Amino acid sequence: MTPRTPAPRSRRERPAKPALTYEGIVATAVRLMESEGLQRVTMRRLAQELDTGPASLYVYVASTAELHAAILEELLGAVDLSPAAADGEGEGDTGTGDTGTGDWRERLARLLGSYTHVLFAHPSLAHSALIARPSGPNYLALVEAVLSLLHEGGVPDAQAAWGVDVLLQVATANAAEHSARDRTAGAEAEHHALVAALRDASPDTHPRIAALGGDLTSGAPGQRLAWSFRMVINGTMTTPRTAP
């Protein structure tokens, strides 16, 4: 005598549990990361958020690593690629007269800065970006943008092809390092230990470290990163692919 079907009203009480889809899972994962950090985006926690059991997720996602890569690809949509847009915006009078030689370099540094910024905004993600590189549309667009700026600058194709990797790697590694420093208490302590060790190195055993002194750790992170970008761009321009 008990009704077999639940009262229709109960469907309106809360939004009906949506069917699982890859897109839905990733979207929920992004939300979860934004609110609780990547370290909480686990299969179990995510399943709980989706009102199901962890085993259900394995139908759509092969592993936790793949899940994290999918989140990164999603976030890469926020990278500002406009520095690479060489045309389109202002038709006739593009010449504002301000774009001297070297301008493409500055725009490339700005583009890479935007990429770094996105990683910084989601600290734990940079770390996973080094291991599981995404291959979705947003990542491809980023690679294309970097390549087009190198092309604009007249960097030989062969060098650009290999340089883009290093450029993105430097940006990613920097974000990973600094975001780890902010996040985990231990990482900050370890960085201080390194600074102290460099400061206290003896001129007898470590003459060069002693000679450079505080300069080894000088500069704001942003300044150092900007120099790194310029430096790798210059290196890419001037280093032929044939052995020296």
Query: Can you give the binding site for DNA, defined by CB under 7 A?
Result: 19-20, 40, 42-45, 52-56, 58-60, 63-65
Give the span between the Cα atoms of 108 and 82, in whole angstroms: 10
Q: Binding of its own copies at residue 218 (CB under 8 A)? A: yes
Least separation, in Å, of the C-beta of 72 and DNA? 16
Closest CA to 21 of 58, 53, 60: 60
Indicate which of its own copies, DNA, none lies near residue 232 (CB less than 5 to 8 Å, by partner kind). its own copies
Q: Binding of its own copies at residue 234 (CB under 8 A)? A: yes
Give the span between the Cα atoms of 22 and 13, in whole angstroms: 25
Size of the residue set binding its own copies (CB under 8 A): 80
Q: Binding of its own copies at residue 164 (CB under 8 A)? A: yes
Q: Binding of its own copies at residue 212 (CB under 8 A)? A: yes
Least separation, in Å, of the C-beta of 133 and DNA? 18
Indicate which of DNA, its own copies, none lies near residue 59 (CB less than 5 to 8 Å, by partner kind). DNA
Binding to its own copies in span 96-155, by CB under 8 A: 102, 105-106, 127, 130-136, 139-141, 143-144, 147-148, 151
Closest CA to 83 of 148, 34, 23: 148
Closest CA to 212 of 204, 220, 203, 221: 203
Tokens of 55: 């085993």
Q: Binding of its own copies at residue 69 (CB under 8 A)? A: yes
Closest CA to 129 of 158, 159, 172: 172
Under the phi-then-psi rule, with left for phi > 0, alpha for psi from -120 to 50, and beta for the rest, what region is 18?
A: beta
Tokens of 104: 């493409």
Indicate which of DNA, its own copies, none lies near residue 76 (CB less than 5 to 8 Å, by partner kind). none
Closest CA to 175 of 221, 139, 136, 140: 221
Binding to its own copies in span 169-198, by CB under 8 A: 169-170, 172-174, 176-177, 180, 184, 186-187, 190-191, 193-194, 196-198
Least separation, in Å, of the C-beta of 79 and its own copies? 15
Nearer to DNA, 68 or 105 (CB): 68
DSSP class of residue 89 equals S
Tokens of 64: 């936790």
Least separation, in Å, of the C-beta of 215 and DNA? 34
**Residue-level length of the chain:** 244
Nearer to DNA, 65 or 193 (CB): 65
Least separation, in Å, of the C-beta of 96 and its own copies? 19
Radius of gyration of the chain (CA): 24
